[in-house]
Amino acid sequence: MAKNDKTARFSALLRRPKKPGDGEAWLFVVLPKDASALLPRRGRTSVDGALNGAPFAALMLEPDGNKSHWMRIDSSLLNAAHAAPGDVVELEIRPVAQEPEPDVPADLREALRGSPRSQATWDATTTLARVDWVHWVVSAKQAKTRAKRINDACDKLAAGEKRVCCFDPSGFYSKALSAPESTDQPLTRGLVLDIRFPRFTPRLTFLSERSLSLRILDGDNQGFTDTVDYEAVPLRDGLVMLSWQENIGTTVVHVLDFTADTAHTVVTPEKGGFLRLTGEIEVIAGRTSAAP
């Protein structure tokens, strides 16, 4: 990824959501953490940019709960970018010059109209504060929770509270927000793999669509553990490229062949050099959608 002031350029996999909801079809990408780090905040924020050269303006990014963001891409932009599910696309994003006003849902808007004091504080606060108030309301997972949050919002605003308190807009600390589950994710949460190399056996436990834990069960570096963010890219049926960088700086790239139960691996230590390894894959728990 190249940086130019606050502009980020990177490649990302176009994913299909498992639960797209009603309406038009859409896809999404998850931003690399270094791209997200250029943004002004961990919560909802809007960007201008381009997808495969097709420009877009004031597109809202959502927090993924893992100190990064994800971006919904609707069909009009997909068509303009000639992009389809499973494509690795080129993205350029930069923060908007001024955050646009959020779309206020009808139930919250009606409640504000019914409380002049709440409406006055709402009008007097900042755009970003209104973004977070709306986000707090719409992120409720149940109708009764949403209704309570709207009532609480009106009470707090009527009392002069301009910002929503006790809400983690990044989702990282509360674990309440995340990127959508993807139908294209070949390595699912709960999957546990052992890869038996000649000199050591790592166990990989997939914690989410973005993170896994690593433990060396035996052999060289027995007892070593780490938790890393990973990228998994389906290459074809039964074949997945899995990569990550460990916290000690070592980069690991696996080509996992679930047809042959074989892993072809390259390890690049931080200090240079590399190791080529071939090992046997054993699924200990869970399942992979990549398996034939």
Residue 99 to residue 116: CA distance in whole angstroms: 25
pTM above 0.75, yes or no: no
Q: How confident is the model at residue 143 (pLDDT cuts 50, 70, 90)?
A: very high
Q: What is the pLDDT of residue 18?
A: 83
Mark residue 171 as left, alpha or beta (left: phi above 0; alpha: psi -120 to 50; beta: remaining).
left
Residue 242 to residue 222: CA distance in whole angstroms: 22
In percent, the amount of the chain with pLDDT more than 90 equals 67
pLDDT higher than threshold 90 for residue 276: yes
Q: What does the mean pLDDT of the chain come to?
A: 91
Q: What is the pLDDT of residue 261?
A: 87
Residue 188 to residue 180: CA distance in whole angstroms: 13
pLDDT higher than threshold 90 for residue 273: no
DSSP secondary structure, the chain, as one string: -EEETTEEEEEEE-B-BS---SSS-EEEEE--HHHHTTSS-SSSEEEEEEETTEEEEEEEEEE-SSSSEEEEEEHHHHHHHT--TT-EEEEEEEE-SSPPPPPPPHHHHHHHHT-HHHHHHHHHS-HHHHHHHHHHHHT-SSHHHHHHHHHHHHHHHHTT--S--S--TTSTTT----PPPBTT-SB-TT-EEEEE-SSEEEEEEE-SSSEEEEEEEEETTTT-EEEEEEEEEEEETTEEEEEEE-TTS-EEEEEEETTTTEEEEEEE-TTS--EEEEEEEEEEES-BTT--
Q: How confident is the model at residue 289 (pLDDT cuts 50, 70, 90)?
A: low
Distances in Å between the Cα of 275 and the Cα atoms of 197, 243, 258 are: 12, 14, 22
pLDDT higher than threshold 70 for residue 8: yes
Q: What is the pLDDT of residue 4?
A: 45
pLDDT tens column, 39-73: 999 999 999 999 999 999 999 999 999 889 999 99
Q: Which residues contact 79 (CB under 8 A, 6 or more apart)?
A: none
CA dihedral over 259, 262, 264, 269, signed as positive or negative: positive
Between 236 and 169, the more confident residue is: 169
Q: Which two tokens stand for residue 11?
A: 């490649």
pLDDT tens column, 178-231: 988 877 667 878 889 999 999 999 999 999 878 899 999 999 889 999 999 998
Mean pLDDT of 76-95: 92
CB atoms within 10 A of CB 41: 17
Q: How confident is the model at residue 15 (pLDDT cuts 50, 70, 90)?
A: confident
Residue 27 to residue 51: CA distance in whole angstroms: 13
Name residue, tokens 């609707």: 74
Q: Give the residues across from 8 on adjacent strands.
A: 3, 93
CB atoms within 10 A of CB 166: 7
Closest CA to 241 of 35, 249, 251, 250: 251
Q: Domains along the chain?
A: 2-95 (2.40.30.100), 192-285 (2.40.128.20)
